[in-house]
Chain A
């Protein structure tokens, strides 16, 4: 009897050990486990991973207040604006070029772009595994992800110089991946990485005409060529600029400059890469973009930051239609009949961030046109001029001037045409997040800021500081930019 009992006990122990590990495998029910990839193994599922990258461009930290501060308020085109006492966290020091390594806008822009890059890497990681989704679709989606990753690295390299290149999903405990995430690469390496991504994107992406009406903001082959041209421009690879500009086909200048910044001007013939926003409920717009830049004070509708500077006003030639399309002047009547009363706090506001239908909404229908055909023309003009083909450059420049209601340029020497193109870039693309980087790229920064009354320290202000919080994560693997 005893033996039977003991046997039973031992047996039950045996059962226990035999299946204990399986027994402890419990299925997750609270959230969708990432092991359960089948849920996304179809065309719609595959698309969701790329949609979330486009979504990133609508985020506050990616495209709104911090980015406005970094890319626009810093420049000679814009002042901080708003009430004198409202710093907008750090917009006063951005305006004065006196930021330091713990500047919140520098930090949030850095983090936001890497957030976007993670989304690209997640998509690129999972797309090959979704074998039940259409292969051609997956190929195109991967191309979109690579374009968008390139765009974000381009933002990073313009802002911070060489940054860590995270080209795949890091494995948490892997030392090599830890080093990858924490070690800055050189600018040249980052540019090479961007070009490689763009070449992959060019191979995978269709022309813009291939997309349906609901997918017009997806990136196309033309967008990839245009971005590659711009990336080449920053590296002064002039012939490569021209070659790529020539491949941007199927686009043309619109006749009415101002129309591009109205709701009716979305995805016009000039638009190459556009961040699309919808104000109608359920709204998905760039969070706070219109609101932070809207007129402030009684009769206004926003916080009043990023106001056009006197220096910009002065930059427009008489008769330039772009001035009225870019700047709201206090007291004027807007195109939709709205009167901006004299009670608003600042003299001028950014017209390109104005939404007629959703004026004071947090998410409005205001798009950002990051790449336009006009810029392609100007890039080609600049590259041609640099290669000594000044006579080829002048008609290109004149196309832009004529559309703006101006006569042909008077410049004819290579040096004068160069200056004329740079100036044309300023007025053509004011408040399109290009000016600060263009000043640095062309070496005009110190002089331009002096005119605007600000001190640009050469050898320092070309780059923003790497966030000190990142450097403390990096330990000794990365170091700060000069001067910070």
Chain B
């Protein structure tokens, strides 16, 4: 470990000894945003010399001061400028919007998009900031073909990003994020305004350079740098309001009473209720959020600087749920010498939140409308009914749902976190075309939390017929309150050193070779938790351990539990190399290889090699295409690669404790055994992918598009197997036994054009389809992976030996067969095809696979128009083929509320053809009755902006005001709140199940950008 730091420091210091002057004209070729243009050609006609700009756009040419230099680059308008002896900055203007000039980040380097052989979706800064949401990944929803984003509007939540289908069941599912070279798992700490590019590496040919971490895809995020030659100050400020996009109409008091009486077959509830509580309204408010950003940036010859400060603050719709985030970023780049550049980036993010339990949504759905929020005497309403059929403090209890308002009011939790992220990058040009890069990045995260449970008062609120002193009588040994506090931190770091060599031989052989080493360390995350009871109700005194100040309560006896968990550290040591070759500017070959060693695995199984290759052919550069004017670009590319997923369950064998026993007396002896088996060969999951793609630009670059097909196979998916019964081992053994296939295609198209001088418009869209399937299993018996629990003893998902041929995340439930017209009872098909009631069902035989919570298709559309100073754009997003389970409806126990549509249309002896079965009190089995289509199409974003007509040389150089509607419209088949249900992000967890789910929001935003 120390060796790395020493070698890094050595490398850092070395260049100080290096110097040397070359008499030449120096300068840099940049685009209008200040980014260097690699490969620009500079020629001096008089001196008969020419030079190419390097990766950063820097060039040196032997020429006389004052003579005319011609600077040209494909995709830019050529310019002629006079040479100066001081370093020059030459800005090229884009020749029109074309992929020919675009540069993509490919991991340990960049490549001109046209020369790239792999599938990479690039999303630019303005696309990310257009949708006013917290996390950049949510903003890109629908904007990249083959990239499925399932997000939640819960503040601070992390969207699930699935790239070209899911290939693992137990392993990590998240893509690898690389933020300015730093590997990370979450980008909630990145202010979307600081992002300059967001690139999604999609195919194995592009991903293999990230080896054993790449199987879920890689997202490379680059943050902004200072540009231009003067100080630029930008301010963005917006504020918005949020409301649930869709509500579910619940039964009112009288309908509730009618239904419940029918269910209970008694007249428990009066059908003339004095109270009609809309619990959803009671627990929600109109949400509001604001964001303010200020950035200062600029560049001199030797320094580029960028500072930004941002603040995001949201009062969410759920009462009391607040979230705030402050970010600070400083990115600098120092030109130390002609050959040496040092880049530094640093960010601090502080996030605060007061979480509230999302089960409040479920409780609001279920709690009866006859219950008042408060009884007339000020006590919280409870679900008790008196003899008169009205809610009463002393009546008999009719359901087990708490008062959702009380639940939120009593819930007292706070979380704070600080993330420090930063790095240093050194670029040294050893000789022309040969560059050395050394990069170190680190991330420190610290988190703290408390949760105060006001145990006694919660009990009193739930039992209005009891008084304070009853608590001590009924629970003589119980605490009156419980305070849980947590602290957690980790430090991750990353160090890479690599060389890049680029040269054109004989003008037709363009070669670029990259090779290097890297180590990535995920430091041990440590979490401390302490729980104390009977603390002073005043939070100011929680830290006091003085018995007097603490009302005579000694500190130590109040500690009920404490934990210290240190998660395993993981380390990765890697070698990587890449060869890129372009022949005659049109034939492209790329080969990459990465060798990774991972500390996650046993000694003999920790090193793996991940090769890939790619081929490309720029057809339009062939002479036979020269006359085809309608086709501006036609490129065919394809490749194959092998990737790993090292984020898999580890087979750490450990002692099993808990086998305690008394051995004939009163002394309890501890018992220990080992009940798991080690499979020493357990290692990463391997994914192999072949893909082919076509890029094209037609009709003067107005129509652009890509088409991709891929076939991806994960051949050794880890699943939990049952050990041989005779081994006596009771814990499941993870083993490489499954095979998952993902096949699909992606299309994206975009038309850009002008009408006259003042109108520009575009129309675009993308569509992707993926077929996911568990294609095979080795000859083993799997331990059932049961998921999608509804909290009532019913589960909805299963993965075991019967799952072959089904997509991952499949629902496995009974098939609803309508109800019996004679009695209104729900019926289900059994394996024999007969209609039976749920008591007659066999859990082992009668359930079926009925589709997955993961969509098969995703699509996005975008259109926009600018007219003079106005801009207007609309984006939409939709998915198809997913199923969602209406978990909150399916969970119903007796005495809970129902949806209005059910309360007004159910089977009775007088209504035999109703849409819904007769009321029942039994917990219903999980069945297709509650399964609905998850298909939806939503307008994600409508933006209207107006640029104030301000002269560029004013103090305020630009000002744009805008209004923004996020998710204004949706069409969905699902009867619940939202068909986009990320849940815990796990296809075998609560993903795709609407239970305790945060609804999707509709937001209206007004804001302004200012530039000084």
Size of B's binding interface in residues, CB under 8 A: 70
Instruction: With both chains docked as a complex, state the minimum distance between the C-beta of A212 and any C-beta of chain B, in angstroms.
Output: 8
List of A residues within 8 angstroms of B662 by Cβ:
214, 217, 276-278, 284
Contact with A along B665-682 (1 / 0, CB 8 A): 111111111110111110
List of B residues within 8 angstroms of A111 by Cβ:
725
List of B residues within 8 angstroms of A24 by Cβ:
571, 573, 597-599, 606
Can you name the residue of chain B whose Cβ is closest to the Cβ of A29? B566
A-binding segment of B162-170, B445-453, B648-656, B751-759: B648-656
Verify if B336 is at the interface (C-beta below 8 Å from A): no
The answer to whether B517 and A16 touch across the interface, beta carbons within 8 angstroms, is yes
Verify if A164 is at the interface (C-beta below 8 Å from B): yes
The answer to whether B663 and A33 touch across the interface, beta carbons within 8 angstroms, is no
List of B residues within 8 angstroms of A213 by Cβ:
664-665
List of B residues within 8 angstroms of A51 by Cβ:
659-661, 663, 669-672
List of B residues within 8 angstroms of A385 by Cβ:
none
Taking CB atoms and an 8 Å cut-off, the chain A residues in 271-286 that contact chain B are 274, 276-278, 280, 282, 284
Q: In the complex, what distance in Å separates the CA atom of A49 from the CA atom of B679?
A: 23
Can you name the residue of chain A whose Cβ is closest to the Cβ of B15? A5
Can you name the residue of chain B whose Cβ is closest to the Cβ of A25? B599
List of A residues within 8 angstroms of B729 by Cβ:
115, 118
Verify if B22 is at the interface (C-beta below 8 Å from A): no
Instruction: With both chains docked as a complex, state the minimum distance between the C-beta of B805 and any C-beta of chain A, in angstroms.
Output: 19
Q: In the complex, what distance in Å separates the CA atom of A276 from the CA atom of B661?
A: 9
Q: In the complex, what distance in Å separates the CA atom of A266 from the CA atom of B96?
A: 94
The answer to whether B726 and A11 touch across the interface, beta carbons within 8 angstroms, is no
The answer to whether B728 and A115 touch across the interface, beta carbons within 8 angstroms, is yes
Verify if B286 is at the interface (C-beta below 8 Å from A): no
Verify if B431 is at the interface (C-beta below 8 Å from A): yes
Q: In the complex, what distance in Å separates the CA atom of A110 from the CA atom of B728?
A: 10
**A9-B497, A29-B566 are known contacts. Are A267 and B664 too (CB-CB below 8 A)?**
yes
Contact with A along B624-668 (1 / 0, CB 8 A): 000000000000000000000000000011111001111111111
The answer to whether A1 and B17 touch across the interface, beta carbons within 8 angstroms, is yes
List of B residues within 8 angstroms of A173 by Cβ:
680-681
List of A residues within 8 angstroms of B14 by Cβ:
4-5, 8
Q: In the complex, what distance in Å separates the CA atom of A145 from the CA atom of B436?
A: 64
The answer to whether A1 and B655 touch across the interface, beta carbons within 8 angstroms, is no
Q: In the complex, what distance in Å separates the CA atom of A165 from the CA atom of B807?
A: 40
**A12-B7, A16-B517, A23-B571 are known contacts. Are A172 and B497 too (CB-CB below 8 A)?**
no
Contact with A along B296-334 (1 / 0, CB 8 A): 000000000000000000000000000000000000000
> Which of B3, B654, B722 sits near A34, CB closer than 8 Å?
B654
Verify if B955 is at the interface (C-beta below 8 Å from A): no
Verify if A19 is at the interface (C-beta below 8 Å from B): yes
Verify if B428 is at the interface (C-beta below 8 Å from A): yes
**A30-B566, A51-B659, A215-B663 are known contacts. Are A182 and B724 too (CB-CB below 8 A)?**
yes
Contact with A along B1-32 (1 / 0, CB 8 A): 10110011011001001101000000000000
The answer to whether A49 and B677 touch across the interface, beta carbons within 8 angstroms, is no
Instruction: With both chains docked as a complex, state the minimum distance between the C-beta of A362 and any C-beta of chain B, in angstroms.
Output: 16
B-binding segment of A52-60, A231-239, A243-251, A349-357: A52-60
List of A residues within 8 angstroms of B554 by Cβ:
none
Verify if B264 is at the interface (C-beta below 8 Å from A): no
The answer to whether A52 and B3 touch across the interface, beta carbons within 8 angstroms, is no
Verify if B785 is at the interface (C-beta below 8 Å from A): no
Verify if A338 is at the interface (C-beta below 8 Å from B): no
Verify if A264 is at the interface (C-beta below 8 Å from B): no
Instruction: With both chains docked as a complex, state the minimum distance between the C-beta of B77 and any C-beta of chain A, in angstroms.
Output: 38
Verify if A40 is at the interface (C-beta below 8 Å from B): yes
Verify if A348 is at the interface (C-beta below 8 Å from B): no
**A8-B7, A24-B571 are known contacts. Are A118 and B1 too (CB-CB below 8 A)?**
no
List of A residues within 8 angstroms of B497 by Cβ:
9, 12
List of A residues within 8 angstroms of B659 by Cβ:
48, 51-53, 55-56, 119
**A5-B430, A118-B675, A276-B663 are known contacts. Are A12 and B726 too (CB-CB below 8 A)?**
no
Verify if A469 is at the interface (C-beta below 8 Å from B): yes
Taking CB atoms and an 8 Å cut-off, the chain B residues in 516-552 that contact chain A are 517, 519, 524
**A12-B7, A16-B573, A118-B727 are known contacts. Are A49 and B673 too (CB-CB below 8 A)?**
yes
The answer to whether A214 and B573 touch across the interface, beta carbons within 8 angstroms, is no
**A12-B517, A172-B677 are known contacts. Are A117 and B728 too (CB-CB below 8 A)?**
yes
The answer to whether A5 and B428 touch across the interface, beta carbons within 8 angstroms, is yes
Q: In the complex, what distance in Å separates the CA atom of A213 from the CA atom of B606?
A: 52
Q: In the complex, what distance in Å separates the CA atom of A2 from the CA atom of B7?
A: 16
Contact with B along A33-52 (1 / 0, CB 8 A): 11000001000110111011
Q: In the complex, what distance in Å separates the CA atom of A24 from the CA atom of B681?
A: 16
Q: In the complex, what distance in Å separates the CA atom of A404 from the CA atom of B175?
A: 75
Verify if B956 is at the interface (C-beta below 8 Å from A): no
Interface of A is mostly: helix
Q: In the complex, what distance in Å separates the CA atom of A182 from the CA atom of B18?
A: 70
Q: In the complex, what distance in Å separates the CA atom of A117 from the CA atom of B567?
A: 32
Q: In the complex, what distance in Å separates the CA atom of A110 from the CA atom of B566?
A: 38
The answer to whether B724 and A473 touch across the interface, beta carbons within 8 angstroms, is yes
Q: In the complex, what distance in Å separates the CA atom of A232 from the CA atom of B189?
A: 73
Verify if B33 is at the interface (C-beta below 8 Å from A): no
Q: In the complex, what distance in Å separates the CA atom of A301 from the CA atom of B566?
A: 45
List of B residues within 8 angstroms of A26 by Cβ:
568-571, 599
The answer to whether A33 and B603 touch across the interface, beta carbons within 8 angstroms, is no
List of B residues within 8 angstroms of A4 by Cβ:
14, 17
> Which of B566, B571, B671, B779 sits near A48, CB closer than 8 Å?
B671
Instruction: With both chains docked as a complex, state the minimum distance between the C-beta of A173 and any C-beta of chain B, in angstroms.
Output: 8
Can you name the residue of chain B whose Cβ is closest to the Cβ of A471? B725
Q: In the complex, what distance in Å separates the CA atom of A110 from the CA atom of B8?
A: 60
Among B8, B668, B671, find the residue whose CB has the most chain A CB atoms closer than 10 A.
B671
Verify if A21 is at the interface (C-beta below 8 Å from B): yes
Verify if B81 is at the interface (C-beta below 8 Å from A): no
The answer to whether A166 and B571 touch across the interface, beta carbons within 8 angstroms, is no
List of A residues within 8 angstroms of B599 by Cβ:
24-26
**A29-B566, A29-B569, A34-B654 are known contacts. Are A55 and B517 too (CB-CB below 8 A)?**
no
Q: In the complex, what distance in Å separates the CA atom of A51 from the CA atom of B659?
A: 7
Instruction: With both chains docked as a complex, state the minimum distance between the C-beta of B3 and any C-beta of chain A, in angstroms.
Output: 4
Instruction: With both chains docked as a complex, state the minimum distance between the C-beta of A211 and any C-beta of chain B, in angstroms.
Output: 7
The answer to whether A164 and B726 touch across the interface, beta carbons within 8 angstroms, is yes
Verify if B997 is at the interface (C-beta below 8 Å from A): no
Can you name the residue of chain A whose Cβ is closest to the Cβ of B524? A29
The answer to whether B725 and A8 touch across the interface, beta carbons within 8 angstroms, is no
Can you name the residue of chain B whose Cβ is closest to the Cβ of A283? B662
The answer to whether A52 and B726 touch across the interface, beta carbons within 8 angstroms, is no
The answer to whether A15 and B664 touch across the interface, beta carbons within 8 angstroms, is no
The answer to whether B566 and A33 touch across the interface, beta carbons within 8 angstroms, is no
The answer to whether A284 and B668 touch across the interface, beta carbons within 8 angstroms, is yes
Contact with B along A92-115 (1 / 0, CB 8 A): 000000000000000000110011
The answer to whether B728 and A21 touch across the interface, beta carbons within 8 angstroms, is no
The answer to whether B724 and A218 touch across the interface, beta carbons within 8 angstroms, is no
Q: In the complex, what distance in Å separates the CA atom of A172 from the CA atom of B667?
A: 37
Among B14, B565, B656, B662, find the residue whose CB has the most chain A CB atoms closer than 10 A.
B662
Can you name the residue of chain A whose Cβ is closest to the Cβ of B667? A214
The answer to whether B655 and A34 touch across the interface, beta carbons within 8 angstroms, is yes
Can you name the residue of chain B whose Cβ is closest to the Cβ of A6? B430
> Which of A34, A47, A212 sits near B674, CB closer than 8 Å?
A34
List of B residues within 8 angstroms of A110 by Cβ:
725
List of A residues within 8 angstroms of B7 by Cβ:
8, 11-12, 15
Instruction: With both chains docked as a complex, state the minimum distance between the C-beta of A227 and any C-beta of chain B, in angstroms.
Output: 18
The answer to whether B671 and A216 touch across the interface, beta carbons within 8 angstroms, is no
Verify if A69 is at the interface (C-beta below 8 Å from B): no
Given contacts A12-B4, A55-B659, A214-B665, 20 further A-B contacts (CB under 8 A): A1-B17, A4-B17, A12-B11, A15-B4, A28-B652, A28-B654, A30-B565, A31-B655, A51-B671, A54-B661, A55-B661, A55-B671, A114-B725, A119-B659, A164-B726, A173-B681, A216-B663, A217-B664, A266-B664, A282-B668
Please, could you name 7 A-B residue pairs with CB atoms under 8 Å apart, sorted by A?
A12-B8, A29-B567, A30-B652, A52-B671, A54-B671, A118-B728, A164-B726
In order of increasing CB-CB distance, the 5 nearest A-B pairs are: A118-B728, A216-B664, A52-B659, A214-B665, A52-B671
